[in-house]
Structure 1
Amino acid sequence: MPITRKSLVGTHWGNYEITTQDGVVENVQPSQQDSNPSPIGNVLYDISNSDYRIAQPMIRSSYLRGDPNHRMRRGKESFVPVSWDEALDLAASALKKTKDKAGNSGIYAGSYGWGSAGRFHHAQSQLHRFFNMIGGYTGSVNSYSAAAAEVIIPHVLGIDAFTAGKQLNLDDVAADCDYLVAFGGMSGYNNQNMPGGVGDHRDKNLVDKLVERGTEVISISPWASDTPSFLATEWITPRPCTDTAIMLGIAYELEVNGRVDTEFINSHTVGYDEFQSYLLGKTDGIPKDASWAASLAGIDPTDIQSLASRLAAANCPAITVSLSLQRAEHGEQTYWMAVVLSAMLGAFGKPGGGVGFMWMSNGTNIFNQIPFQWGKLPQGRNSVLQPIPVARVADMLLHPGETYTYNGKTRTYPDIHCIYWAGGNPFHHHQDLNRLRRAWRKPETVIVNESVWTATARHADIIFPANTFMERNDIVCGKDYFITPSKKALDHYADSRSDYDIFSGLAERMGVRDAFTEGRDEMEWLETIYQESRANAKKAGIDLPSFTEFWEAGEPINIEPQVKEWKNIFTQFRNQPNHHPLRTPSGKIEIFSSTIDSFGYDDCRGHPRWYDKREWLGGSRAKYFPLHMVSHQPRNKLHSQLDFSRFSRETKTHDHETVILHPADARERGIKDGMITRIFNDRGSCLAGAHLSDDIMPRVISLPTGAWFCPDDKEGPESLEYHGNPNVLTPDIGTSSLAQGPIAKSCLVDIEPFEGEIPDVKAQLKPVISPGTDR
């Protein structure tokens, strides 16, 4: 008789009722509590695809043989299947050797947290807990998504960037905002995913209210699709990476026309005089007027004058900035300048107005104020106290012992002998992947926990096959009001294990198993984490059922009816700046930051300003690479997860990622719709299928991230990536000396028809598996 199982599974993109039969996913249905479920759930049908799952521990051939030159073969050779004991022994030996030779700082332990939405089977928590128990590790700070914002916002507003992003929410905007200028658009598909899962995708329902209210929306973006099609908008198309210049032009118009709210500036900000001198050109001889800004942005000066006039006339104006804008050279400036503009308008802290950070990006605009902390796996304390900015990993590997600046400090890159990665794919997130490929060969050992044959797995020495969130029990809760019992829908694939079991095995060999496990199995840890959540909730006046009731009911719990109305930090500050000061040195908005100015950085001074760019359409490099590439988040998967699924492949062109370009640019190059093209610059090249569209402005192309890195055997700029991964083209340079974030959006390229035999991507995405005797 067929064995049928039904389970509710929580993911980063929602909760789904999974029906399996004899270990095969037969049906995926979103939770009935989700008003606008994400179609990403369709990737789950292929989660156990044996062509791409890793069935048992693997060791790269030359590493297993002890070849002294094995590092140069990473990503290019076969793997040998081994037993769990052999793989764990080898990994433990490599960790002990590194500790003895280079100390714990010689271990770079990385994870990016998106592997599981659960509170227990969160690879990042598991990895950090294990390494803290064996003496620490070199880790990282900030994120590829928001690094520049994460560093600049605390200086300017005294609050972390993600909490700041909650202060302007769609409920208030829909109720009160009459004029909204969206720098970087309002890309709703990014809201499909949130850290810790989504119980109810409410964003479309709330945007519908903007339509009903008739809020005037201006989208400033090179791509019309950055804003939902059902939301009528005015579309302004500047050169990418010129948003700060446009904001300065608006600020100039406000200043010279007497439209600045000087009362708010005097009572709620510091440093406006220094900024004003720069704005009017008194410090550098260049007034930042509409003509100046328009010449940089490539738009009409009247567009800037009109924006200034309409913002000033609005009763409740809002300025929003997408996450993508700070993933560019000098990305800190756009966020800083948006704050200044909202202050000049006197709109900062108005309900439904002011400034919105990371808006319509990864759900930040609908993150809710949970009045307590959810329980989590304890991680301990890292004894290695100098983490690197996450986007500087290649610099660290290539330049051990060299100094770098970060947020007012000068630090030294450690000498990394061993990388341990779990729950992420740096060959998706990082820039200039040809450079990362060279850097990745520097350490003696690379160990990876991975479910499928990503590029990170293919560039490892030791692979532990990790099972997926479909094969585990967990508790899913995060930044909305839901807590969900996520129950395993499948038995573990082949000989895979959970990250907890993998680290427990390593902990035994490192002499810390009892401390790591505390004698608890999976379900005992889940109950412990839930009870911590329940106790914290009770202190906040919120009741949760017992763990047994919660688990046996098997349904998400929505605590929203029990949550009291939250207090907006920015509104409190606006209404009573003396009683509710910001946590900045002045207690006010820092238009001029003495702290940042004291760092002495040439690329990030004491107030927001325009800096010339190395890669933008207004620079000399555009003579050689005349198109600006925007690499946006994919619509049909989370980052690169399950890229092999049928649902992910639906939008590809003959299994290559699809690039969008304007028909005029295509005609100039002899490119037709559906043609395989080569996108290139002096860092590398990749193949992508062409789709022509008037929705994108001329001289800009759009290539989504998420295609698994699939390079040929050549090195450097001459290499060809077959699949359409844009990060073979993006520069690996920090946003500035302040934040050292990634600048994927600052990327110039060219495109041409591909001539030659088109490679079979699917055949290239899997390594050769050698017989166990090939040692």
Structure 2
Amino acid sequence: MKTKSRSLLTSTHWGTYRVDVIDGKLRGLRDFEHDRDPSPIGQGIVDVLTGPTRITQPMIRKGWLENGPGPASGGRGEDAFVAVSWEEANRLVAAELRRVIEAHGNNAIYAGSYGWASAGRFHHAQGQLKRFLNCIGGYTSSRNTYSFAAAEVVVPHVLGSFRGPLDETSGWATIASDCELFVAFGGVPLKNGQISQGGLGRHVQKAGLSRAMEAGVSFVNISPLKSDLMDGPDTRWITPRPSTDAALMIGLAHVLLEEGLHDTGFLNDYTAGFARYAAYLRGETDGIPKTAEWAAEICAVPADTIRGLAREMAGRRTMISVSWSLTRQDHGEQPFWAAIALAAMLGQIGLPGTGIGFGYSAMNNMGLSRRKIDYAALPQGRNPVRDFIPVARITDMLERPGETIDYDGARITYPDIKLVWWAGGNPFHHHQDLNRLRKAWQRPDTVIANEWCWNALARHADIVLPCTTPLERSDIALTPKDPFQVVMDRAIEPVGEARDDHDILRGIAAAMGVESAFTEDRSPEEWQRWLYDISRQSAAREGVSLPDWDTFQAEGYFEVPDPEQETVLLAAFRADPRGAPLSTPSGRIEIFSETIAGFGYDDCPGHPAWIEPLEWLGAPSVYPLHMISNQPSTKLHSQLDHGSVSQAGKRGGREPVLMNPSDAAARDLSDGQTVRLFNGRGACLAALCIDERIMPGVIQIATGAWFDPDGSTCRAGNPNALTPDKGTSRLAQGPIAHTCMVEVAAFEDDPRFSS
């Protein structure tokens, strides 16, 4: 292990830490001195690096080892595992890859591997895996994210890009200086702002929000959860029914239109298709004017409140923020499109502190003005396989090979998957209707997982390849999403026989005769030097001088200077719409999209629309409560659920579920009681927390508990045992976890589930 005169450092998606090691053992993590609002999440790893959850040897499911590859018939998730040597594991994996490729082709390998993995630039599990698979002919891939798949597909049709506007969301400083009214659909959840992809050095969301509040900005939290916005001197809480955000936005737009409060000049110069949308608002297309009263009936928000908010938005410098969670509902394309249209009607897009923002505090980098530097990533090579699926359609793919579906104007066919390989993620966290996924997961011949702990993914695999954690390997955190670039020191030796993902794949590559193609005869340190040198050149082109490699290693981090000007979304387009057009067919904001209209989708027309969701509080249901399953505050998705910080956030070892006092009283439930959440798809157990900060008719339970099924009930409290697995629409096919109706009952009162 390399000796350094400075203290050891590591970077994670939730912060940078100083690492304390005594006699080769991790003793603790200290908050980075430049972080004034550090996240506690990192401390959760200290007590779980070793112990019963750690995987220390290559492991093979007993049924697979004895019977060979084939559908598992329920064995995945139930069978015991047998330890083997790395030599044997490499031989088995190589042989199975050859068999599948020769018998079925490379498109029979699915390596979506969705997840957050490591913050390191080189030891990034998915990048390593996909590079290796491309060396042997490729794999079926996935597109989009569980975070905001619907927006990833619809917003490019409206603004020409989604990732561009996402990365260029106007800075918090412009909110403080130029905004008067901040309307937050989905709130500004600071707990989500703990994280940022690729590592971060300083948390800024709380400071940015506080600065805006101190500057006198009025905030409106439109959410079923009061906690989705920090209390401030001028904050309000509006509680529409979940999954009705688009209807509320459309009702607001109708008020602007009918009262002449919309900016016709902006609409004429910067948008296309408003007349078609206006006809919809007035009811000329379907006979239903989208008035405040119409919206009130759908949203359960008083019509006077809707009218008053619309007038206030038109009369003040207004920022509309839409949380990423709004896309994770049935027809999740519509809230983002409707929000863009509403902001366009106000005419403030492209001005400092106003317009539209895509998810303030969804991650730490949102609203963080920073320089654009194209840091190098590990080259993955070319994937010759053209087959792909929308990321949230994995169960459909496994259940129905050969079926053809619509996606963004195209028709795609599900391949017949024989081998699934997952590295750096956990589908038994992200996906919906986990009981259905668990059944479909039995269908492939082989499931391989690179994993360091016995979570649900590892327990549902056939071959488990034990990988290291970031503290057991050297890496570099180079991210365009944060100014701090950090050396990630190898603080301790790998636990047991764990190997870096690169070394795992190098061994298999050697067994398949492609080791040189995979490594390019570079060591991991040589790869990191190469990545850093390419990144230094990119930084230099942007006027930033990164230190040389040796200086970077000696000092441990480098802070990229702030840009000279604060970021303002679509400022260049606003200043010169013809000289800096959007990448849409018209070059303008497409309130009506001829392209989408041309697809002929009945569940996603050519303009923003209210389309009744699969299930919601406005429709009769045997399950009367709407369940919100949002991001946890004590972990990143399911990472470190077994760690001390996550465990401390549970009540009696169970995930807390929030419920309004009126709903608890109607069910004769008491605070702290173990309850069962259930519907026709499944159930989970949780500890009841009675709280007035959630609207009646709604419950909230965070995601991230390690899926632990007992029949159709998750004992650990994973809400995705209940959520529906359906695409948002034929356009994006995204996930709809937030469209979910359930019932809650006392666990001990149900003899079928009493312990």
1:477 Cα shift? 2.2
Aligned residue in 2 for 1:102: 104
1:112 Cα shift? 2.5
Aligned residue in 1 for 2:579: 579
What TM-score comes out, normalization by structure 1 length? 0.94
Give the stretch that moved more between structures: 567-576 or 152-161.
567-576
1:3-402 superposed matches below 5 A: 6-66=7-67, 70-161=72-163, 163-230=165-232, 232-314=234-316, 316-402=317-403
Aligned 8 A contact 1:613 1:619 in 2: no
Aligned 8 A contact 2:185 2:245 in 1: yes
Aligned residue in 2 for 1:702: 700
1:247 Cα shift? 0.6
CA distance in structure 2 between the partners assigned to 1:364 and 1:159 by the alignment: 18
Unpaired runs of at least 5, structure 2: none
Aligned residue in 2 for 1:650: 648
Aligned 8 A contact 2:61 2:463 in 1: yes
1:231 Cα shift? 6.1
1:164 Cα shift? 3.4
1:757 Cα shift? 9.0
Aligned 8 A contact 1:8 1:485 in 2: yes
Relative to 1, partners in 2 of residues 1:153 and 1:165: Cα closer, same or farther, differing over 3 Å? farther
CA distance in structure 2 between the partners assigned to 1:431 and 1:164 by the alignment: 25
CA distance in structure 1 between the partners assigned to 2:71 and 2:388 by the alignment: 29
1:463-474 superposed matches below 5 A: 463-474=464-475
Aligned 8 A contact 2:13 2:195 in 1: yes
1:69 Cα shift? 6.1
User: Secondary structure, in 3 states, of the residue corresponding to 2:50?
Assistant: coil
1:500 corresponds, among 493, 502, 518, to: 502
1:614 Cα shift? 1.4
CA distance in structure 2 between the partners assigned to 1:475 and 1:368 by the alignment: 22
Amino acid at match of 2:717: G
1:146 Cα shift? 1.1
CA distance in structure 1 between the partners assigned to 2:695 and 2:30 by the alignment: 38
Aligned residue in 1 for 2:716: 723
1:427-506 superposed matches below 5 A: 427-478=428-479, 479-506=481-508
1:567 Cα shift? 6.2
2:741 corresponds, among 748, 752, 760, to: 748
CA distance in structure 2 between the partners assigned to 1:420 and 1:615 by the alignment: 34
1:459 Cα shift? 0.3
CA distance in structure 2 between the partners assigned to 1:274 and 1:635 by the alignment: 42
Relative to 1, partners in 2 of residues 1:296 and 1:20: Cα closer, same or farther, differing over 3 Å? same
1:518 Cα shift? 1.3
Aligned 8 A contact 1:165 1:358 in 2: no
Amino acid at match of 1:131: L
Give the stretch that moved more between structures: 670-679 or 41-50.
41-50
Aligned 8 A contact 1:657 1:723 in 2: yes
1:584-733 superposed matches below 5 A: 584-621=584-621, 624-712=622-710, 714=711, 719-733=712-726
Relative to 1, partners in 2 of residues 1:418 and 1:428: Cα closer, same or farther, differing over 3 Å? same
1:87 Cα shift? 1.1
Aligned residue in 1 for 2:414: 413
CA distance in structure 1 between the partners assigned to 2:211 and 2:365 by the alignment: 18
CA distance in structure 1 between the partners assigned to 2:172 and 2:743 by the alignment: 38
Relative to 1, partners in 2 of residues 1:398 and 1:472: Cα closer, same or farther, differing over 3 Å? same
Amino acid at match of 1:579: G
1:110 Cα shift? 2.5
Give the stretch that moved more between structures: 133-142 or 111-120.
111-120
1:376 Cα shift? 1.4
Relative to 1, partners in 2 of residues 1:630 and 1:420: Cα closer, same or farther, differing over 3 Å? same
CA distance in structure 1 between the partners assigned to 2:100 and 2:388 by the alignment: 18
CA distance in structure 2 between the partners assigned to 1:499 and 1:758 by the alignment: 44
Aligned 8 A contact 2:725 2:736 in 1: yes
User: Secondary structure, in 3 states, of the residue corresponding to 1:46?
Assistant: coil
1:739 corresponds, among 723, 732, 735, to: 732
Relative to 1, partners in 2 of residues 1:235 and 1:154: Cα closer, same or farther, differing over 3 Å? same
CA distance in structure 1 between the partners assigned to 2:99 and 2:754 by the alignment: 40
| 1:245-296 Cα deviation digits (max 9, x unpaired) | 1111111111111111001111110101110111000110100000000000
CA distance in structure 2 between the partners assigned to 1:575 and 1:256 by the alignment: 28
| 1:391-423 Cα deviation digits (max 9, x unpaired) | 000000000000011110001000000001000
CA distance in structure 2 between the partners assigned to 1:181 and 1:94 by the alignment: 54
1:113 Cα shift? 4.4
Amino acid at match of 1:651: G
CA distance in structure 2 between the partners assigned to 1:50 and 1:538 by the alignment: 45
Amino acid at match of 1:492: P
Aligned 8 A contact 2:59 2:465 in 1: yes
Aligned 8 A contact 1:631 1:704 in 2: yes
CA distance in structure 1 between the partners assigned to 2:24 and 2:651 by the alignment: 31
1:232 Cα shift? 4.1
User: Secondary structure, in 3 states, of the residue corresponding to 1:560?
Assistant: coil
Amino acid at match of 1:749: V
Aligned 8 A contact 1:8 1:15 in 2: yes
CA distance in structure 1 between the partners assigned to 2:409 and 2:340 by the alignment: 22
User: Secondary structure, in 3 states, of the residue corresponding to 1:163?
Assistant: helix
1:569 Cα shift? 5.3
Aligned 8 A contact 2:679 2:743 in 1: yes
Amino acid at match of 2:179: C
Give the stretch that moved more between structures: 246-255 or 228-237.
228-237
Amino acid at match of 1:203: Q
CA distance in structure 1 between the partners assigned to 2:754 and 2:448 by the alignment: 28
Relative to 1, partners in 2 of residues 1:197 and 1:306: Cα closer, same or farther, differing over 3 Å? same
CA distance in structure 2 between the partners assigned to 1:330 and 1:635 by the alignment: 27
Relative to 1, partners in 2 of residues 1:272 and 1:163: Cα closer, same or farther, differing over 3 Å? closer
User: Secondary structure, in 3 states, of the residue corresponding to 2:546?
Assistant: coil
Amino acid at match of 1:571: A
CA distance in structure 2 between the partners assigned to 1:162 and 1:30 by the alignment: 32
Aligned 8 A contact 1:368 1:481 in 2: no
CA distance in structure 2 between the partners assigned to 1:32 and 1:143 by the alignment: 33
1:102 Cα shift? 1.1
1:483-562 superposed matches below 5 A: 483-554=485-556, 556-561=557-562
Relative to 1, partners in 2 of residues 1:247 and 1:165: Cα closer, same or farther, differing over 3 Å? farther
1:359 Cα shift? 2.2
CA distance in structure 2 between the partners assigned to 1:733 and 1:165 by the alignment: 28
CA distance in structure 1 between the partners assigned to 2:163 and 2:334 by the alignment: 14
1:386 Cα shift? 2.4
Give the stretch that moved more between structures: 363-372 or 737-746.
363-372
Relative to 1, partners in 2 of residues 1:299 and 1:409: Cα closer, same or farther, differing over 3 Å? same
| 1:121-158 Cα deviation digits (max 9, x unpaired) | 00111011111111110010100011011111111000
Aligned residues: 749
Aligned 8 A contact 1:165 1:356 in 2: no
| 1:201-223 Cα deviation digits (max 9, x unpaired) | 11211111112111011111001
Relative to 1, partners in 2 of residues 1:407 and 1:251: Cα closer, same or farther, differing over 3 Å? same
Aligned 8 A contact 2:115 2:426 in 1: no
Aligned residue in 2 for 1:766: none
